[in-house]
């Protein structure tokens, strides 16, 4: 069946035409509906996440559902404030003015295209931003998580009006059809390859895009890394193995100072076995280790490990013999010294494979990391006791985010905008940043219309003689007038009235009309 995108977008355009989406009430209603959906249908989502990705309950709650709940809570608390117009300063030569900036909805409904790895969180977090910003939106979830996609398709119509939020299921064909249309914003999360396809399609309809892409995130264990290697490994591997390594900001590979390699490998093995109840890479029935999304994805990872084995990489833990692609199981696998031309050192791994590369000096690590990363990575993780060393690495290896002695906590810091740079993405979201991403800053200026405020017609033609020179001088040197508070404005206006009454300007202007203008200015400013 061909997708009729016009029919999908029509009720959303109608919402916009009527202006419902401009109001705080409409936005809060959508956020309440979203909250109700994820709380009332929480079990459906948890079940679907288990089916599609083998995620255990608590991981599903904290790494997906709770993030959405917290985002809704934040939007509901702050939205009224964020929506308020903000006064800005203006050149004194046009005093008195009211200059305001207000964040308004984007030009059209938005499109959200989400990936498979956090299929609930990464679908609904941008949807909160879109609806909170006053934009009806269409969600196209990943076809690789069919159970989650079906839950969305079934639940969204129960909680949302078609003029606010709709779901379109499908893969390449459906996304291609959706991309033929103009959107206020296309929020895409996925691979660099598909990101390029989305960006090209968006160019044809002149739709703005946010691209949240992937990459190879370096992790460095320095010579002076914190003493407790057990804690280092819990943080690093807790991050790497979350969702079986299928996380965009997961540490992709580890550069480990040669003096720390043995202690790192030893602590890494005991950490893996403790976290996931594994015995030499074998999973027991109660293990919480998640699945790889599809058999094909598992096969790709198995081949990656096999290649490393055949090219002389030392398997410290796991290995291809333990892979079971029909069960979508790839064991956490530590590969020491993989061949630098192997797939695991060239492509984003996106699985539980941990290449470890020993180094002797910081500069050697930096040079080698630059040879591996194709562009600017989403993150850089440095385990070091020294702030200076961390800053040195930060100055030499650009990244969209960085952490010292931690990994993948980007999403839990509400004031961190989340997004990539260069090949790892374009634009960002989360919290206030989401609101900014999904709105346009509309400017508005009001200048009372009275001859007194023309200042001798200085700005108009003809610019002959000293008048022209005075104009240029004023433009260059006149300071900006700050955004006044209402109290300051009342004081200022009173002063003007006082001067007018004293007759300083009464010969030049009609006092009654001046008072009228000032009164209207005051009314406007105190709104």
Residues with a catalytic annotation lie at 212, 248
189 touches ligand NAD (CB under 6 A): yes
147 touches ligand NAD (CB under 6 A): no
Q: DSSP secondary structure string, 146-201?
A: HHHHHHHHHHHHHHS-TTTEEE---SHHHHHHHTTS--S-EEEES-HHHHHHHHHH
Nearer to ligand NAD, 5 or 474 (CB): 5
**Residue 381 CB partners (closer than 8 Å, separation 6+):** 217, 218, 219, 220, 236, 239, 251, 402, 403, 406, 407
Strands (E), 16-107: 86-87, 90-91, 98-105
> Strand 353-359 to strand 380-383: parallel, antiparallel, or no bridges (unpaired)?
unpaired
What's the closest the beta carbon of residue 307 comes to ligand NAD, in angstroms?
A: 20
253 touches ligand NAD (CB under 6 A): no
Whether the CB-CB separation of 476 and 141 falls below 8 Å is answered with: no
Strand partners, 446: 98
Torsion of CA 381, 384, 387, 393, to 10 degrees: -50
Rounded-to-integer distance, Cα 102 and Cα 51, Å: 44
What's the closest the beta carbon of residue 426 comes to ligand NAD, in angstroms?
A: 10
413 touches ligand NAD (CB under 6 A): no
292 touches ligand NAD (CB under 6 A): no
98 exposure class (CB count in 10 Å sphere: 0-12, 13-18, 19+): buried
Rounded-to-integer distance, Cα 269 and Cα 334, Å: 9
Read off φ and ψ for residue 8, nearest 5 degrees: -70, -40
Q: Which of 99, 131, 186, 213 binds ligand NAD (CB under 6 A)?
A: 213
140 touches ligand NAD (CB under 6 A): yes
What's the closest the beta carbon of residue 212 comes to ligand NAD, in angstroms?
A: 3
438 touches ligand NAD (CB under 6 A): no
Whether the CB-CB separation of 357 and 256 falls below 8 Å is answered with: yes
**Half-sphere exposure of residue 24, counting CA atoms within 13 Å on the CB side?**
10
383 touches ligand NAD (CB under 6 A): no
**Exposure string (b/e) for 103-133, b if CB count within 10 Å is 16 or more?**
bbbbbbbbbbbbbbbbbbbbbbbbbbbbbbb
Q: Which of 142, 149, 291, 384 binds ligand NAD (CB under 6 A)?
A: 142
What's the closest the beta carbon of residue 347 comes to ligand NAD, in angstroms?
A: 10
| DSSP state at residue 479 | P
- Shortest Cβ contact with ligand NAD: which residue? 214
What's the closest the beta carbon of residue 259 comes to ligand NAD, in angstroms?
A: 32
Q: Residues 156-175: x/- map of binding to ligand NAD (CB under 6 A)?
A: ---------------xx--x
What's the closest the beta carbon of residue 228 comes to ligand NAD, in angstroms?
A: 30
What's the closest the beta carbon of residue 96 comes to ligand NAD, in angstroms?
A: 46
Q: Which of 15, 103, 117, 149 binds ligand NAD (CB under 6 A)?
A: 117
Whether the CB-CB separation of 141 and 23 falls below 8 Å is answered with: no
Write out the H or E segment, with its range, that includes residue 283.
strand 282-283
Rounded-to-integer distance, Cα 345 and Cα 353, Å: 11
Q: Which of 78, 100, 143, 224 binds ligand NAD (CB under 6 A)?
A: 143
350 touches ligand NAD (CB under 6 A): yes
Q: Residues 309-348: x/- map of binding to ligand NAD (CB under 6 A)?
A: ---------------------------------------x
115 touches ligand NAD (CB under 6 A): yes
Nearer to ligand NAD, 181 or 260 (CB): 181
Structure tokens given for 77: 């608390």
Nearer to ligand NAD, 55 or 140 (CB): 140
Restricting to residues 216-235, which ones interact with ligand NAD according to CB under 6 A? Answer: none
Nearer to ligand NAD, 83 or 378 (CB): 378
**Residue 204 CB partners (closer than 8 Å, separation 6+):** none
Q: Which of 22, 197, 394, 481 binds ligand NAD (CB under 6 A)?
A: 197
Q: Which of 38, 112, 113, 500 binds ligand NAD (CB under 6 A)?
A: 113
116 touches ligand NAD (CB under 6 A): yes
- Answer whether the bond into residue 345 is a cis peptide, omega within 30°: no
295 touches ligand NAD (CB under 6 A): no
Rounded-to-integer distance, Cα 35 and Cα 45, Å: 13
Q: Which among 248, 5, 208 is positioned nearest to 115, based on CA atoms?
A: 248
Choose the binding region for ligand NAD from 7-15, 209-217, 322-330, 445-453 (rule: CB under 6 A): 209-217
Structure tokens given for 276: 């996931």
Choose the binding region for ligand NAD from 114-122, 224-232, 481-489, 514-522 (rule: CB under 6 A): 114-122
Nearer to ligand NAD, 400 or 514 (CB): 400
Q: Which of 120, 122, 323, 334 binds ligand NAD (CB under 6 A)?
A: 122
What's the closest the beta carbon of residue 303 comes to ligand NAD, in angstroms?
A: 17
Nearer to ligand NAD, 115 or 184 (CB): 115
What's the closest the beta carbon of residue 63 comes to ligand NAD, in angstroms?
A: 12
Residues that bind ligand NAD (CB under 6 A): 113-117, 122, 140, 142-144, 171-172, 175-176, 189-191, 194, 197, 212-214, 248, 348, 350, 378, 420, 425
């Amino acid at each position: 069946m061909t997708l009729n995108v016009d029919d999908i977008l029509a009720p959303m355009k109608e919402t916009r035409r009527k202006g419902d989406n401009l109001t705080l009430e409409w936005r809060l209603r959508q956020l309440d509906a979203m909250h109700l959906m994820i709380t009332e249908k929480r079990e459906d989502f948890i079940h679907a996440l288990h089916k599609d990705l083998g995620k255990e309950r608590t991981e599903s709650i904290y790494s997906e559902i709770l993030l959405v709940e917290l985002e809704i809570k934040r939007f509901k608390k702050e939205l009224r404030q964020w929506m308020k117009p903000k006064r800005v300063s203006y050149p004194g030569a046009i005093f008195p003015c009211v200059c305001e900036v207000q964040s308004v909805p984007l030009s059209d409904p938005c499109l959200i295209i989400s990936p498979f790895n956090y299929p609930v969180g990464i679908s609904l977090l941008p949807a909160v931003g879109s609806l909170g910003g006053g934009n009806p939106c269409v969600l196209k979830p990943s076809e690789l998580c069919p159970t989650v996609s079906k839950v969305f398709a079934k639940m969204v119509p129960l909680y949302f009006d078609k003029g606010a939020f709709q779901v379109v299921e499908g893969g390449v064909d459906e996304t291609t059809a959706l991309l033929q249309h103009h959107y206020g914003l296309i929020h895409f999360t996925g691979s660099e390859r598909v990101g390029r396809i989305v960006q090209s399609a968006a160019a044809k309809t002149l739709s703005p895009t946010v691209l949240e892409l992937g990459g190879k995130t370096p992790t460095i264990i320095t010579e002076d890394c914190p003493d407790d290697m057990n804690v280092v490994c819990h943080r690093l591997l807790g991050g790497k193995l979350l969702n079986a390594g299928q996380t965009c900001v997961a540490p992709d590979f580890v550069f480990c100072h040669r003096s720390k390699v043995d202690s790192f490998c030893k602590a890494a093995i005991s950490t893996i076995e403790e976290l996931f109840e594994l015995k030499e890479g074998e999973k027991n029935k109660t293990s919480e280790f998640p699945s790889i999304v599809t058999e094909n994805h598992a096969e790709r990872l198995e081949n990656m490990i096999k290649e490393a084995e055949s090219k002389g990489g030392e398997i410290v833990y796991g290995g291809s013999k333990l892979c079971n692609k029909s069960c979508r199981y790839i064991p956490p696998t530590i590969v020491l010294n993989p061949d630098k031309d192997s797939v695991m050192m060239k492509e984003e791994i996106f699985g539980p494979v941990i290449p470890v590369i020993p180094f002797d000096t910081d500069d050697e690590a930096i040079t080698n990391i630059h040879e591996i990363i194709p562009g600017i990575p989403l993150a850089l993780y440095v385990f070091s006791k020294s702030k200076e060393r961390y800053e040195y690495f930060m100055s030499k290896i650009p990244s969209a985010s960085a952490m010292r002695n931690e990994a993948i906590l980007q999403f839990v810091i509400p004031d961190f905008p989340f997004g990539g740079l260069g090949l790892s993405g374009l634009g960002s979201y989360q919290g206030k940043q989401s609101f900014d991403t999904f709105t346009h800053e509309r400017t508005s200026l009001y200048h009372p219309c009275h001859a007194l405020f023309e200042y001798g017609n200085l700005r108009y033609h003809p610019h002959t003689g000293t008048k022209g020179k005075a104009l240029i001088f004023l433009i260059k040197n006149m300071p900006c007038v700050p955004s006044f508070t209402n109290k300051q404005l009342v004081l200022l206006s009173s002063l003007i009235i006082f001067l007018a009454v004293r007759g300083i300007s009464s010969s030049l202007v009609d006092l009654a009309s001046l008072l009228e203008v000032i009164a209207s200015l005051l009314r406007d400013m105190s709104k």
